[in-house]
Each structure stands twice: as C-alpha cells, then as structure tokens.
Copies of this chain bind each other. A is one copy, B any other.
Amino acid sequence: MTDSDHILLAHGGGGELSDALVRTEILSRFPSRELARMADSAVLDFPGTRLAFTTDGYVVRPLFFHGGDIGRLCVAGTVNDLLMSGARPLALALGVIVRDGFPMADFRRVLDSVAATAREAGVEVVAGDTKTVDRDAADGLFLTTSGVGVVPEGRQLDYAAARDGDAVLVSGTMGDHGIAIMAEREQLGFETPVATDAAPLVELVEALLAASPGARCLKDPTRGGLAAALNEIARAAGRTIVLDESAVPVRDAVAGACDLLGLDPLTVANEGKLVAVVPADEAAPALAAMRGARYGEAAALIGRVQDGRPRVIGTSALGGQRIVEMPYGEDLPRIC
C-alpha cells in the first residue's frame, strides 16, 4: 500500500488515499474553482440561471444484487449528486463500456433498470454512448452517468456553511448498500437478506429543503460511508462534528454482518441516504419532513457541529469518546 508509482485499488475507495490522489494529481492540473470545491456536483453560472453538472463511474461487482443492480445504482447516484448540490435534476447522459461476449439478456436487464429508475426520479436520459472492448479487456460492464440540473435562485448549499450549534441529520439506516453487495459476494446467508438502499432521493430532498429553508449542506454518504461524509464536511467547515454513535440508525442484520466481516458500519457505503446539516431550530421540522417522505422513514438526529478542530468525535451511549477517522483506503472494493 506504499507503492507510489502505481494506481492502487485503494485509490478508488473514497478515503484518504482517494482524497490525496485527487488533490495532488487532479486539482493541480485543472484550475477550476468548482472542481476544487470537491462537492457532489459543480455549479456553473449559466446565462440567467445556475447549472449543476456531475459525473460518476460505476464498476460494482456483481452487477445484480439484492434490491438493485448497477443500472439502478448509476441513476440514483448521479441524481443524488445533483440533489446534494441543491439542484433539481434535469437530464442524464449514460456512457456504457461493455466487453465482447457480454450476455445480451444482462445488457437489457441493466438498461431496463436504468430506465425504471430514471422514470422514478422524473428525469430523462437524453444522451448516451456505448463502447465495446475485447473479451479480456474488461470483466463485464461499466457505466458512467453524468447529470445536469438547475439550482433554484437563492439556494446555496455548501459544506463550508456549517455553523456551531447546527444539527446533523441522516435520512435513514447506514451501511445497507455495502452489506448487500458483500453478502452477495461472500454468499453470506441472512435470515432476512439486506437489500441495497440505492434510490433517487428527489422527493425526500424536496420535502427536507421545504421544511428547512436554512439548510447548510447535504451530502450522500457513498464510498467511505458516514465517516467520510462527516469528515469532509468538518474539514470544509473548519469545525468539529460531535456524533452520537448510538443515535445512528443501523439495521440489526447490517450490524451483525459488520461484526462478522470486521467492518465499521460508519465506513460502509450507502446509495440512497443523505446527511444534512441544518440550523438547530430547523432540525425538528426537517426530521419530520424526511420521515414523511419516501426513503426517509428512519431519519434521525445524529450529532452537532461545534467549535473546534476539523474532525469528527464519536460519543457512545456509555459516554466514551473516539475520533471517527476518515477511512484510509478501500475496505470494500468495487462497491459502486
């Protein structure tokens, strides 16, 4: 893991190593203020309005898993990245890279899933491209989804906007997606199988932002999980986030699987959840709004922003404290 002459699998994990790669190799070459924000979408000043623009690659393995597949994942992920920037998703573009000999039935199944999830999110796929590669040049199918959206006048979400005393909320249980994938891969037998949470959060975000007009920022805790998401916000805001670990919703099956696999549920990926930082006096209405919306039933208040060094402190029910670190590399490769 100390080889600096090669790309490592861990460079894609969404943790410290990903962050370092982006900072040293990408940001240095591309002098864009929007890129440097490292937010979920770029927001561009467009004649007469503000445009959100984002892209994400999907390399998950296996392609099909309990509750979803790479097609649902790619639409949910890109739509959610637009939503996290405060944008209303407008349109998607789909790039497919697929190997020679890939089963046509699986190809159709993936496209059906892309189409169904786009319909659910109320967004059109307006552009696309398919490239084929030799049989041994890729192990299946990779998708890259890009999205554009409109940020309504006056809306400004920014990780750096978090203030002392703000409430930190999550929209539901943590770790479902990562454990659904691992269960599939490791053939873990659950009494009740864990399904991916992959979902487009259009309705949830609309309800949340209507109830909390002062919301500071939204973030989807994907690769690197809640731990990475909170650390990114803490760093951008230059403040401490105090996390009440016992308040973080985690399914029993997910907690059990994490024990079994030696994983921390806080670092496991989610694909249909969000973290919201809102002013303290908007926490109650924001929670109520999320709980009343699809995919938000288990929303919870999990922490506070406070003055202090940019880091995340976890407190347990017994009063213990620990630093919740930014994950280093890749606990779960090819999770999305």
Contact = CB atoms under 8 A, between A and B. Distances in A.
A55 B146 contact: yes
Nearest to A153: B47
Contacts of A31: 124
Interface string A6-39: 1111111100001001100110011110110000
Contacts of A49: 46-49
B125 A32 contact: yes
Contact of A7 (B26, B98, B139, B333): B98
A142 B18 CA distance: 18
Contact of A127 (B55, B125, B336): B55
A115 interface: yes
A132 interface: yes
Contact of A130 (B11, B48, B96, B97): B11
A100 B132 contact: no
Contact of A139 (B8, B13, B41, B138): B138
Given A101-B7, A104-B5, A118-B30, A35 B130 contact: no
Contact of A59 (B108, B111, B133, B146): B133
A128 B146 CA distance: 10
A130 B12 CA distance: 6
Interface stretch (A86-94, A159-167, A208-216, A317-325): A86-94
B133 A30 contact: no
A310 interface: no
A129 interface: yes
A65 interface: no
Interface residues of A, number: 85
A321 B115 CA distance: 44
A128 to B, nearest CB: 6
Contact of A144 (B6, B55, B108, B125): B55
Interface in A115-145: 115, 118, 124-140, 142, 144
A76 to B, nearest CB: 15
Contacts of A97: 57, 59, 97, 142, 144
22 contacts: A6-B104, A7-B98, A7-B132, A10-B132, A11-B130, A12-B133, A34-B127, A35-B128, A41-B127, A42-B126, A46-B46, A47-B49, A55-B93, A55-B94, A55-B144, A57-B131, A59-B131, A93-B146, A137-B139, A142-B142, A144-B144, A148-B148
Given A42-B127, A54-B93, 8 more contacts: A6-B104, A9-B132, A26-B111, A34-B91, A42-B91, A57-B95, A133-B139, A133-B334
